[in-house]
């Protein structure tokens, strides 16, 4: 039953509000399936940033987490950006406070700061270039040899990039609470049960998982891979929300979520899952919670994000 003040037909009401506000709904692959199905566009962090920068809508409803909505505001400052739940954060962003990051920079003079998009606007403002998991290798490949680099805040993605590119980087010690949860031991068990299945993993996973993976990539790269691979079953080592698009676009293929260490639903991001269809409706109806940033922050954080877009 719908909560008080919430219409029974949420889908139709959201469609009406979308017209009334001239809004676009952008959703990340880790959102619950109902939200993905309502969205105008579902994508990874890079695609969502591009959409936010290019939209002709007046209002961007961001079904994702706080740093993604902030990035949308920075790229489209004249638009109203709504986030269904303001508490939808990210363990990587929370583990990298701007003051500590400023000290990290000071400790490494002469280093270029390449920073993963999973961080606050304040940390972006202190960075040289932003990257996502889909463009990080390409960006690092454009940095002159000999230029020293610091990479924050994900040490797993950073370590993966060091191994892939052969570039030394000083890494910030952050992790994603979802991707560090996969159990090597349980994974071995599942692989024995499904010897034909490919293991696919997001680079935020620990090295022990990435070393065994048949394919490593961002959420959109993982999705493209399952769509084009000859394999018919896959063990998926990333947040379980992506499986919705995999099942929708690959009928007849089997997707097995990689097992977390504990008997829990830890492969569901607790931040991403704070957003619900009901909260999506309410944020559009009430036009709040809204992302607001001062003009100085928008300008300082915008420079390294635009550098990323130009280098991608
Ligand atoms: P991508 O969708 O860019 O691969 O990022 C994954 C993620 O963890 C977002 O929080
Ligand atoms: Fe952050 Fe991990 Fe959740 Fe992505 S899945 S939003 S990296 S905590």
Rounded CA gap, 88 and 275, in Å? 7
What residue spans define the domains of the chain? 10-89+272-292, 92-175, 184-257
- Ligand nearest 176 Cα, by number? 2
At CB < 8 A and 24+ separation, what contacts does 15-22 make? Answer: 17/281, 17/284, 17/285, 18/61, 18/284, 21/58, 21/59, 21/284, 21/287, 22/57, 22/58, 22/59
Pocket of ligand 2 (CB under 6 A): 30, 65, 90-92, 118, 176-178, 204, 239, 269, 271-272
Ligand 1, closest atom to CA 29? 2
Pick the CATH number of 184-257 from 3.40.50.20, 1.10.600.10, 3.40.50.10800, 3.90.1150.10: 3.40.50.10800
Task: Indicate the top mutation candidate among 118, 138, 241 to test ligand 1's pocket, ranked by most ligand atoms within 8 A of CB.
Answer: 118
The answer to whether domain 92-175 and domain 184-257 are alike in fold is: yes
Residues 6+ apart with CB under 8 A from 130: 114, 115, 116, 117, 124, 304, 305, 307, 308
CATH architecture of residue range(s) 92-175: 3-Layer(aba) Sandwich (3.40)
Residue minimizing CA distance to atom 5 of ligand 2 = 269
Rounded CA gap, 182 and 202, in Å? 11
Give the pLDDT of the chain (312 residues) as one tens digit per residue: 567 778 989 999 999 999 999 999 999 999 999 999 999 999 999 999 999 999 999 999 999 999 999 999 999 999 999 999 999 999 999 999 999 999 999 999 999 999 999 999 999 999 999 999 999 999 999 999 999 999 999 999 999 999 999 999 999 999 999 999 999 999 999 999 999 999 999 999 999 999 999 999 999 999 999 999 999 999 999 999 999 999 999 999 999 999 888 777 789 999 999 999 999 999 999 999 999 999 999 999 999 999 999 999
Report the separation in Å between the CA atom of 93 and the middle of ligand 1, taken as the mean of its atom positions: 12
pTM of the model: 0.97
Sheet containing 41-43: order of strands: 41-43, 23-28, 59-63, 80-82
Task: Indicate the top mutation candidate among 62, 161, 218 to test ligand 1's pocket, ranked by most ligand atoms within 8 A of CB.
Answer: 218
- According to the CATH classification, is domain 10-89+272-292 in 3.40.50.10800? yes
Q: How many CB atoms lie within 10 A of CB 152?
A: 28
């Amino acid at each position: 039953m719908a909560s008080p003040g919430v219409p029974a037909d949420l889908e139709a009401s959201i469609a009406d509000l979308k017209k009334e506000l001239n809004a676009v709904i952008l959703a990340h692959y880790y959102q619950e399936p109902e939200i993905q199905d309502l969205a105008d566009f579902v994508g990874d962090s890079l695609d969502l940033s591009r959409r936010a920068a290019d939209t002709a809508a007046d209002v961007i409803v961001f079904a994702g987490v706080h740093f993604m909505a902030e990035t949308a505001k920075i790229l489209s400052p004249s638009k109203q950006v709504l986030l269904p739940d303001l508490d939808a954060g990210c363990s990587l962003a929370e583990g990298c406070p701007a003051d500590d990051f400023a000290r990290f920079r000071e400790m490494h003079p002469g280093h270029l700061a390449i920073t993963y998009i999973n961080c606050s606007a304040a940390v972006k403002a202190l960075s040289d270039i932003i990257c996502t998991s889909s463009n990080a290798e390409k960006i690092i490949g454009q940095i002159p040899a000999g230029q020293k680099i610091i990479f924050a805040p994900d040490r797993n993605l950073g370590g993966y990039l060091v191994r892939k590119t052969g570039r030394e980087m000083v890494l910030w010690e952050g992790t994603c609470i979802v991707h560090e949860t996969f159990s090597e031991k349980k994974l071995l068990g599942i692989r024995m049960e499904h010897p034909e299945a490919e293991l696919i993993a997001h680079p935020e996973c620990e090295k022990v998982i990435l070393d065994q993976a048949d394919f490593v990539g961002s959420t959109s790269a993982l999705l493209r891979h399952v769509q084009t691979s000859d394999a018919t079953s896959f063990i998926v080592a990333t947040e379980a929300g992506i499986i919705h698009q995999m099942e929708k676009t690959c009928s007849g293929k089997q997707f097995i979520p990689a097992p977390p260490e504990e008997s829990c639903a830890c492969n569901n991001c607790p931040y991403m899952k704070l957003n619900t269809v009901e909260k999506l409706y309410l944020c559009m109806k009430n036009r709040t919670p809204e992302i607001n940033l001062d003009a100085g922050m928008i300008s300082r954080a915008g420079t390294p994000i635009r550098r990323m877009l130009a280098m991608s």
